[in-house]
Chains A and B, each alone.
Chain A
Amino acid sequence: AQSVTQLDSHVSVSEGTPVLLRCNYSSSYSPSLFWYVQHPNKGLQLLLKYTSAATLVKGINGFEAEFKKSETSFHLTKPSAHMSDAAEYFCVVMRGSARQLTFGSGTQLTVLP
């Protein structure tokens, strides 16, 4: 079975400092992995996706993630946090013939002024 584990339920950073949100995956074959962001009372927005092309994936709003097979990780990073980055972030793995999504438990990012 394919699954993802988000290692931190809450991350707090100061504005202008780097962001690191951690995600490990479990898969019997090369997975398709995604990061989604959810702002309060808003729908889910795709930040970036990995589908076995380049291991370093660049997304929207300055976020990027690196797929590391040896570590079974897909951590999300951003060099400099902005107040508008405060939100819930979900690491997601795709499974099944209908491309169903299985979400991690989420990481709440707080950005301090």
Chain B
Amino acid sequence: DAMVIQNPRYQVTQFGKPVTLSCSQTLNHNVMYWYQQKSSQAPKLLFHYYDKDFNNEADTPDNFQSRRPNTSFCFLDIRSPGLGDAAMYLCATRGTSGSNEQFFGPGTRLTVL
């Protein structure tokens, strides 16, 4: 089945130690999004890629970076995780023809020790 895959599902890192979260998709969608969802809060958009064009939300901290080496993969890099970065990170994709629906992956839960 076509889907959005996030690895790992659970990630533990130490304060200040860089960490990379991975998202892949088999939907061949042009657009990929990264959201941060803190405990008991709504998902908040960090940035998105439209093909290779990177678009940062205005209030996304510089500590968060992203890479999209090809259509299928997108990475979220947190350069120096702080305790406040502990959250669920959700990846989503969207095609640019037809439906505007975003398809979400299961998320990666990041713990910062």
What total count of A-B pairs have CB within 8 Å? Answer: 48
In which size bucket is the chain B interface?
20 to 34
Given A98-B55, A99-B94: A46 and B41 interface contact (C-beta under 8 Å): no
Give B71 Cβ to nearest chain A Cβ, in Å. 16
Q: Is the CB of B42 within 8 A of A43?
A: no
Residues of B within 8 A of A104 (CB): 42
Given A43-B107, A98-B31, A98-B50: A51 and B45 interface contact (C-beta under 8 Å): no
A26-62 CB mask vs B (1 if < 8 Å, else 0) is 0000001000000000111110010100000000000
In which size bucket is the chain A interface?
10 to 19
Q: Is the CB of B104 within 8 A of A44?
A: yes
A99–B96 CA distance with the chains assembled, in angstroms: 10
A99 touches which of B31, B41, B105 (Cβ 8 Å): B31
A32 touches which of B42, B50, B100, B106 (Cβ 8 Å): B100
A/B interface sample: 8 pairs, CB < 8 A: A43-B4, A46-B101, A90-B43, A99-B31, A101-B33, A101-B45, A102-B45, A104-B42
Residues of B within 8 A of A (CB): 4, 31, 33, 40-45, 48, 50, 55, 57, 90, 92, 94, 100-102, 104-107
Residues of A within 8 A of B (CB): 32, 42-46, 49, 51, 90, 94, 98-106
